[in-house]
Amino acid sequence: MQQQRITLGILFGGKSQEHEISLISARDVIKQLDRKRYEIIPIGIDRQGHWWWQDNIDRLNQITTPQSIPLHEQSRAIALIPGSTQTFMTLNTPYEKKRLDAVFPILHGPYGEDGTVQAMLEGSNIPYVGAAVLSSAISMDKTIFKCLLRDAGLPHAAFHTLRKEAYRGNTADLEMIIAALGLPCFVKPANLGSSIATHKVYTLTQLKTAVEDAFQYADQVIFETFIQGREIECGVIGNDKPEATLPGEVHVHHDFYSYAAKYLDKNGASLTIPAELPASIVQRIQQLALQTYQLVGCQGLARVDFFLTPKEEIIINELNTIPGLTPISLFPKMWEATGVSFPDLLDKLIDLAFERAKKQSLLKIDYTPI
């Protein structure tokens, strides 16, 4: 007897500066999923936040650039139906309802990786891949994440944060930050990824310009001291018993791992997977990756980024709850080096979504005093 296919919604796009990056990952995930196991429902979220059911999945598979995906053409606007139905409904005629067994959010940045979409899926009782609401929000907010590392005694770069309403272009504030962190230092929007509006600055003038740029994208900016070291990353998957990959190394051919180095310059960076490291360092990185993953309550998957200094100090940089998921992305390539193929990795992640949903369904939602 043939097993019934899993109806899997793939969420991509979103109201984020990382919209295009999401489309690239989603395209490649769809190509890797087993059509015999999954009925794939591609759902594109446009920059205004509207959800569109993409009727022509093969057309999505054939795209060459993310800009070539017209979310409004050959698609229907949809809305989730809160409650126990795990269903969405089309908003234009002819009306249609579709039940989703699970959703795979492949969204980067605000309104997708920060817990907002996860909360919508929770409210609709739809199992979904990846971190839950709180751990998504914590990991997206660089300030909160660094504070948790600090309070847990885990190694991290010195940092300082500044809110937009507290900044008046006062040079004295920036001089204080330089005194605390030194130069060069990094300036980043506190809740964005992909190195968007991230700057490595060497002077007070550059710092002022970088702050003004970062405030265009976020209400809070984080400043981090510069760490001289190798860029090492480690993948983690799992719920209650997470597992870590062999680490990989990013060799950056720009001044730092900028947006241009990641996405615009094909020679901006190269990878070594697995990283050439002593066994003791590999073990320590994996241990720190698992500690960080569990500290923020992650489930499903994450990629933890590190610096390895010349003195072999390991510094935790960031945790990404929805890392890049193309065949050439570091996360799937690290799992491949660890013995898990990309298609098998996707199956594992979807199985973990069902495992967590089943566990959560056992919790009582009414209260009877004893």
pLDDT at 297: 96
**CATH number, domain with residue 183:** 3.30.1490.20
Which value, to the nearest 10 degrees, does the dihedral of the CA atoms of residues 290, 221, 12, 70 take?
A: -160
Of all residues in the chain, what percent are helix, strand and coil, respectively (each to 5)? 35, 25, 40
pLDDT at 1: 44
**CATH number, domain with residue 331:** 3.30.470.20
Least confident range of 4-18, 56-70, 127-141, 200-214: 56-70
Beta-carbon-side half-sphere exposure of residue 59 (alpha carbons within 13 Å): 11
Please check the confidence at residue 321 and state whether its pLDDT lies above 50: yes
pLDDT tier at 240 (50, 70, 90 boundaries)? very high
Beta-carbon-side half-sphere exposure of residue 296 (alpha carbons within 13 Å): 40
Q: Classify 165 in phi/psi space as left (phi over 0), alpha (psi -120 to 50) or beta.
A: alpha
For the chain, the domain total comes to 3
- The pLDDT mean for the chain works out to 88
**CATH number, domain with residue 34:** 3.40.50.20
> Do 118 and 18 lie in a common domain?
yes
Please check the confidence at residue 120 and state whether its pLDDT lies above 80: yes
pLDDT at 167: 83
With the C-alpha atoms ordered 277, 256, 193, 59, is the resulting torsion angle positive or negative?
Answer: negative
Is 142 part of any domain? no
pLDDT tier at 73 (50, 70, 90 boundaries)? low
User: Who's near 168: CB < 8 A, 6+ residues apart?
Assistant: none
Instruction: Copy the structure tokens of residue 144.
Output: 């909160």
H or E, element range at 51: strand 51-54
> Do 10 and 109 lie in a common domain?
yes
pLDDT at 181: 94
Please check the confidence at residue 264 and state whether its pLDDT lies above 80: no
Residue 351 · residue 366 · CB < 8 Å? no
Mean pLDDT of 122-151: 94
Please check the confidence at residue 80 and state whether its pLDDT lies above 90: no
pLDDT digits (tens, 9 = 90+) for 184-212: 999 999 887 777 889 999 999 999 999 99
Residue 226 · residue 186 · CB < 8 Å? yes
Collapsed DSSP state (helix, strand, coil) of residue 212: helix
Comparison of pLDDT for 333 and 192, the residue scoring more: 333
Comparison of pLDDT for 2 and 218, the residue scoring more: 218
Tokens 């964005």 appear where? Answer: 192
Which domain range does residue 163 map to? 158-225
Is 63 part of any domain? yes
Instruction: Copy the structure tokens of residue 111.
Output: 């309104």
> Do 212 and 327 lie in a common domain?
no
Domain end call among 180, 202, 225: 225
> Do 184 and 285 lie in a common domain?
no
pLDDT tier at 268 (50, 70, 90 boundaries)? confident
pLDDT digits (tens, 9 = 90+) for 224-239: 999 999 999 999 999 9
DSSP 369: -
Beta-carbon-side half-sphere exposure of residue 41 (alpha carbons within 13 Å): 22
> Do 254 and 342 lie in a common domain?
yes
Instruction: Copy the structure tokens of residue 45.
Output: 């979220």
Comparison of pLDDT for 118 and 73, the residue scoring more: 118
Q: What percent of the chain has pLDDT over 70?
A: 91
Please check the confidence at residue 6 and state whether its pLDDT lies above 50: yes
Cross-strand bridge partners of residue 106 = 12
Collapsed DSSP state (helix, strand, coil) of residue 30: helix
